[in-house]
Structure 1
Amino acid sequence: MRTGIATVCLSGTLKEKMHACAIAGFDGIEIFEQDLVTSPLSPEDVRKMAADLGLTLDLYQPFRDFDSVPEELLAANLRRAEAKFRLMSRLGMDTILVCSNVATAVIDDDDLRAAQLFRLAELAGNHGVKVAYEALAWGKYVNDYEHAHAIVETVDHPNLGTCLDSFHILSRDWDTAPIEQFNPAKIFFVQVADAPKLSMDVLSWSRHYRVFPGEGQFELSKFMGHVVRAGYAGPVSLEVFNDVFRQSDVERTAVDAMRSLIWLEEQSAKWLDAADAPLTGSEEAGASRPAGRRRYPMELATLPQVAEPAGFNFAEVKAADTAGLEKVLGQLGFEFNGRHRTKDVQLWTMGHARVIINEQSSAARESAPDPAAQVTGPAIAAVGFDVDSPVIAAARARQLKAPAVPRKSQANEEIFQGFAAPDSTEIFLCQGSPDGTAAWTHEFGEGLEVPSGGTGAVIDHVNLAQPWQHFDEAVLFYTSALALEPQPYAEVPSPTGLVRSQVMLTADRAVRLVLNLAPVIQQDGADAGPGSGTGHRRTYQEHIAFAVDDLVATARAARDRGLDFLRIPANYYEDLDARFGLDPTFLATLQELNLLYDRDADGEFLHFYTATVGTVFFEMVERRGGYDGYGAPNAPVRHAVQYDHLHGPK
């Protein structure tokens, strides 16, 4: 699949954008007119730079408001078009995007539109230019891609074709199956964009909230499957208008964009495999399909296939001063299992829940990137996942542009495959074991690979804060690299604004990763990529949650060890009683131990929080029955109490 991206997707100057696209590995680019108009580079300079960078110049865009106009306005439009065709000749480009009219259209007549587009195609042909006509979702008279294609077919000119843009099609919920019936020679260009499902006018939705494939909720693999089945073999190019992307680091955004196309290519191949599979006995009698995916002019590459993680292997917290962490973990009931024989790290365990405390300073840390170099207090640095094949899973992540984070190992030490997530958290892939043991723990002492008895504790979920610039990037990253499934996001009130919370999980819920987009006021605003060492997301709190069999007993024991619980206000328990009508004795126990409670049709959820150490706090949970949530009604209480604890009078 030939990949492309419109320069409008990225921040910076045209020169910076072109260099970023080349670094990310794109085959070609669309030149957005404003980027060229505002550039000091001449068209000849741009043409040479593209050739030097190995980029093709695939599309000049946009040419607006051409059709459905009176004759006197058409003449002006043709003069304007000819000037652009001459410019394109200097650039060495042969395709221009012409949008359906949204502003100056005054005549609703398809015959007139066809006649006017024929004149445009004739003029374009004289300059060696092809015209790709696109139906904008808010076009005055042409807003349906099938309508636009029908006009193109009526014109029947070799220099006029159609541009299929996934946003304009899917935002209007148009059926994409008819694309398969299009003459592929008349599909001149394909643009893709994803988007969250929003209730707003489509123009504002398009201009501000498009995202890269895999970061929204559109059925892009189905759209692309129909495009491939139609026989299209040209570029698949990103056209994403997004306020955040155009404020973010250009190279990083370009890499995220390329990752999204790699993911889309794989997902489209899977859709075609399913669509081209033989019919089952339950399907219509007498019908048939070819066995396996057919061959199409566009070849779709796939990635190394991996299963979703089987569970958490460990969580790592980094701190220059580890005393506070050691105290809290001990009070929670974790056992200290010693220091690593060659590294400045500690191991603490409770059942199958493992926490590594990294004692190394930022300057001496043995692995890169350094996710918390600017943090003075503890911060979550890494998460380990159990996978079937760490080598294959790491190879997949590398193909998805994930930067590697090698871990130095000496003789008889586990070799971890690792890479950096968008928020700089290090992700390590560990060889899973059916009984939940971990062979690497013997590096801290013999016999530690077998969990101690007495508790079935496990890591229930890990909550990571995301910088505002890269929240969507993180969702795509964990979806594509770790096969986690994003759930519908929620917004949680806090004293400093709404916190957007996105749960990523495996089908069996063995891995639950919660990504939080904190209000900007709670972040330091630095924009740094993996390896930068700026600690750009560490001003907002994160936590690790552990599931236990008996939370009340765990809480009592922790209280007896002197644990500083997050203190829950009495008003909460009055409200809890009003909502659930709990047994008075049980309610009193909850209040006595600062426990929070939730219940739904499937079960119950009990949990409590520790005070924050650095930017990290811990949560202990107990799931009863089939409860599958995270105590969402309690989140505003937690945020408010933490805010008071951190900012109130001491």
Structure 2
Amino acid sequence: MQTSIATVCLSGTLVDKLHAIADAGFDAVEVFEPDLIAAPQTPEEVRALCDRLGLRIALYQPFRDAEGVTEPEFAQVLRRAEAKFELMDRLGVDTVLVCSNVATASIDDDAVSAAQLARLADLAAARGKRLAFEALAWGRFIDDYRRAWRIVERADHPALGVCLDSFHILSRGHDPADIERIPGEKIFFVQLADAPLLSMDVLSWSRHHRLFPGEGGFDLPAFVGHTLRAGYTGPLSLEVFNDVFRQTDPARTARHALRSLTVLEDALGTDARPVPAPHELDQVEIKAQDTDAVAAVLERIGFAPSGRHVTKPAWLYAAGDARIVLNEHNATGTAPHVAGFGIRVDRPEDAAARAERLGAQRAHRRLLAGETDLPAVLAPDGTEILISGPQSGAAWPGEFAGGHGTPDPSIRGIDHVNLTEPAADIEEAVLFYGTALGLTRESSAELAGPAGLVRSQVLRSGDGGVRLALNVVPPLAERTSTTQRHAQHVAIACDDLPGLIGRARARGLRTVPVSANYYDDLGARFDLPPGELERLREAGLLYDRDAAGEYLHCYTETIGTVFFELVERRDRYDGFGAANTPVRLTAQHLSH
């Protein structure tokens, strides 16, 4: 599969964009005219740079308002086209995107549009150029790719074909199956964009809310499948207008973009490789210059120290199947934070290779005598993901020696890990964790807190053994100097949480206080058994219930940017107590 991307997808200057696109590994690029106009480099210099970077300029775009006009207006179209074809000669590109008219069209007649496009194609062919005609979703008269094809077919010119853009087709609800009626050689270019399923005017939707494949609600594998069955052999090119992507690091966005095309390629079955499904969260690593305060909280919860690492300043705390590593190695100047987590799969190396193919960087770990070789990769934000298998998962805890104590028997394992992401990075994070780890995206939620709305996106393995909750940091919290308001946390699965809390409190554990108003409301919302509301109030526990079961939970104090959630799932409850999140956020806000 040939890969391409439009320069409009990225931030920075044209030179910045081209370097980022090449470094990410794209084969080709669409040069967006405003990027070239603003660049100080000549077209010849841009062409030379692309040659040095190994990038083919596959498309120059856009050429607007070319058809459906009066004859005097069309004379001006031809004049503009002459200048653009000369520019394309200098750039070394042979195909230009011609958009359906949105501004100057005054003649709603296929015959007129076909004749004018044929005359424009005559001019293009004389310069060795091709026109890819695209029906914009908001075109004045031509807003359907099927009509665009009828006009191209009527014009019957070898230098005239169609450009198919997934957004313009799918946003209007047009059936893409008819793409297969178009001869492959007449599909000159294919542009791809996903998008959330919104109810708004299509122009604003297009200009601000497009996403990379796999991040929205469009069925892009089906769309691309139709183009391939039609016989299209050109590049699949990303054209994503998005306010966030045009403000973030172009190198990171370009890697994110190429990852989305790799995921799409797998979904098409052209190079499909099964994702080794993770079974469980094997460990969580908390890193800091000084982890003593975190260790104290873990011991109060009921974890027992399993010893110090044989080669570095790191300690393992365990209870049931829950394993938490406190790591002070190379952590000078850092406060406690979730630095990584481990998953267990049947084929660790295959899982790591899959993540690498999707653009993850392999984490190079120096192994000394007595250490288990666990493959590891880095998420886009640097979070380390350690991948263990049936044998290595049982072996690596043996690297820690000198443990003592008995863990609380009510602790069963790690229920889920909650990570925070800036708004600019959330789509990339969701795509990465979902595809690289083989997790399924569940519905997202937006929850109010003192620092703004918190958007939460849950991803999970098929059996629920691995659950990740990704929270978007509210803009106010991103700007504030304190990090406490958007701390990450590790949820510990327990049996008999009321009993565990009683013992933990006797060991000195402090949990986030819950307001009296919460319990008054809880009693009104749920018909609880006699005495249950008072037991929850006395234990300081939050509660939720649905048709499948019940959920009890509470939160510890925050240390650095880490806190712990203790949870008890009863029956088949599979949620996260989302309704209680505003209570937790407010309590944490007031405690700092």
Same fold per superposition (TM over 0.5): yes
Counterparts of 1:108 and 1:432, CA distance in 2: 67
Aligned to 1:581: 527
Q: How many Å separate the matches in 1 of 2:268 and 2:519?
A: 50
Partner amino acid for 2:383?
Answer: T
* Aligned 1:64-213 pairs, distance under 5 A: 64-213=64-213
Structure-2 separation of matches of 1:30 and 1:627: 49
Q: Which residue of structure 2 lines up, in the alignment, with residue 631 of structure 1?
A: 577
- In structure 2, the partner of 1:472 is 427
User: CA offset at residue 360 of structure 1?
Assistant: 2.4
Rounded to whole Å, the distance in 2 between the matches of 1:609 and 1:538 is 14
Please name the residue that 1:597 is paired with: 543
Structure 1 counterpart of 2:294: 325
For 2:408 and 2:545, how far apart are their aligned partners in 1?
A: 30
For residues 233-289 of structure 1, give each alpha carbon's deviation from its aligned partner in whole angstroms, at most 9, with x where no partner exists.
1011110111111111111111111111111111112xxxxxxxxxxxxxxxxxxxx
Q: CA deviation at 1:550?
A: 1.2
Give the residue type in structure 2 aligned to 1:301. D
Give the secondary-structure state (helix, strand or coil) at the position aligned to 2:573: coil
Q: Distance between the aligned counterparts of 1:312 and 1:340, measured in 2?
A: 20
Give the total of aligned pairs: 591
Matched, 1:440 2:396: yes
Task: Give the SS at the match of 2:368.
Answer: coil
* C-alpha contact 1:179 1:230 (8 A) present in aligned 2: yes
Q: What CA distance in whole angstroms lies between the structure 2 residues aligned with 1:480 and 1:598?
A: 30
**Conservation of the 8 A alpha-carbon contact between 2:303 and 2:407:** no
The Cα shift of 1:447 comes to 10
Q: Per-residue displacement from partner, 1:387-409 (whole Å, max 9, x unpaired)? A: 11111111111111111212221
Deviation at 1:455, TM superposition (A): 4.0
Counterpart selection for 1:359 from 328, 339, 354: 328
* TM-score, normalised with respect to structure 1: 0.88
Q: Indicate yes or no: 2:292 matched with 1:346.
A: no
Which residue is 2:350 aligned to? 392
**3-state SS of 2:486 partner:** coil
The equivalent of 1:220 in structure 2 is: 220
The 2-side partners of 1:59 and 1:258 are apart by: 18
Relative to the length of structure 2, the TM-score reads: 0.97
- Equivalent residue for 1:566, pick from 505, 512, 519: 512
Q: How many Å apart are 1:362 and its aligned residue?
A: 2.5
Instruction: Map 1:252-291 onto structure 2 (within 5 A).
Output: 252-269=252-269
Question: In 2, are the aligned partners of 1:466 and 1:537 still within 8 Å (CA)?
Answer: no
Counterpart of 1:504 (choices 459, 464, 478) is 459
Could you tell me which residue of structure 2 aligns to residue 9 of structure 1?
A: 9
For 1:607, what is the secondary structure of its paired residue? Answer: strand
Q: State the SS of the aligned residue for 1:137.
A: coil
In 2: Cα distance, 1:125 partner to 1:488 partner: 50
Letter paired with 2:352: A
Does 2:543 correspond to 1:543? no
Matched, 1:49 2:7: no
Structure 1 unaligned spans of 5+: 270-299, 364-373, 527-535
Going from structure 1 to structure 2, the CA distance change for 1:538 and 1:397 (only over 3 Å counts) comes to farther
Name whichever structure is richer in strand by fraction. 2
One-letter amino acid matched to 2:561: T
Secondary structure in 1 aligned to 2:75? helix
Deviation at 1:437, TM superposition (A): 6.2
Distance across 2 between alignment mates of 1:182 and 1:58: 21
1:292 corresponding residue in structure 2: none
Contact residue 595 and residue 607 of structure 1 kept, 8 A: yes
Q: CA–CA distance in 2 between the matches of 1:134 and 1:539?
A: 47
Q: Which amino acid aligns with 1:389?
A: R
Query: Residues 177-216 of structure 1: CA distance to partner in whole angstroms, max 9, x if unpaired?
Result: 1112210011000011111111211111111111111222
- Answering whether residue 390 of structure 2 is matched by residue 407 of structure 1, we say no
Change (3 A) 1:523 1:251: same
Letter of the 1:262 counterpart: T
The letter of the residue matching 1:380 is: V
| Residue matched to 2:468 | 513
Could you say which residue in structure 1 is the equivalent of 2:438?
483
**RMSD value, Cα:** 1.9
Cα distance in 1 for residues equivalent to 2:239 and 2:562? 39
When residues 194 and 322 of structure 1 are mapped into structure 2, their CA distance, relative to the original with a 3 A threshold, is same
Range 500-509 or range 452-461, more displaced: 452-461
Any conservation in 1 of the 2:310–2:370 contact (CA below 8 Å)? no
Give how far 1:583 is off: 2.6
Using the alignment, how far apart are the partners of 2:74 and 2:46 within structure 1? Answer: 30
- Does the residue aligned with 1:261 lie in a helix, a strand or coil? helix
Counterpart of 1:28 in structure 2: which amino acid? A
Cα distance in 1 for residues equivalent to 2:381 and 2:403: 35
State whether residues 310 and 432 of structure 1, in contact with CA within 8 Å, keep that contact through their aligned partners in structure 2: no
1:613 corresponding residue in structure 2: 559
Q: Is the 8 A contact 2:420 2:472 kept in 1?
A: yes
C-alpha offsets along residues 419-444 of structure 1, whole Å, 9 cap, x if unaligned? Answer: 111222111111136xx962211111
> For residues 16-41 of structure 1, what are the alpha-carbon distances to aligned partners after superposition, in whole Å with 9 as ceiling and x for unaligned?
11111111111110000001101111
Question: Taking every aligned residue pair, what percent have the same amino acid on both sides?
Answer: 53
* Separation in 2, partners of 1:330, 1:60: 63
Partner residue, 2:588: 642
On the 8 A contact 1:464/1:542 being kept in 2, the answer is yes
Give the letter aligned to residue 333 of structure 1.
G
Conserved? CA contact 1:423–1:537, under 8 Å: no
Amino acid at match of 1:478: Y
Structure 2: gaps of 5 or more residues: none
- Cα distance change on mapping 1:80 and 1:396 into 2, 3 Å: same
Match of 1:239 in 2: 239
Task: Report matched runs for 1:291-302 at 5 Å.
Answer: 300-302=270-272
| 2:554 match: secondary structure | strand
Q: Which residue in the other structure is 2:387 paired with? A: 429
1:560-613 per-position Cα deviation (integer Å, ceiling 9, x unaligned): 111111000000000001111223411001111110001111111111111111
**Does the Cα contact within 8 Å between 1:210 and 1:242 map onto a contact in 2?**
yes
Alpha-carbon contact 1:523-1:539 (below 8 Å) kept:
no
Match of 1:409, as an amino acid? L
Residue 24 of structure 1 aligns with which residue? 24
- Which one-letter code corresponds to 1:395 in the other structure? A
Deviation of the 1:539 alpha carbon: 7.0
Structure 2 equivalent of residue 416 of structure 1: 374
* 1:538 Cα deviation after fit: 8.5
Kept in 1, the 8 Å contact 2:411–2:492? The answer is no
- Give the corresponding residue for 1:370: none
Distance 1:101 1:437 in 2: 61
Q: Distance in 2 between matches of 1:452 and 1:600?
A: 31
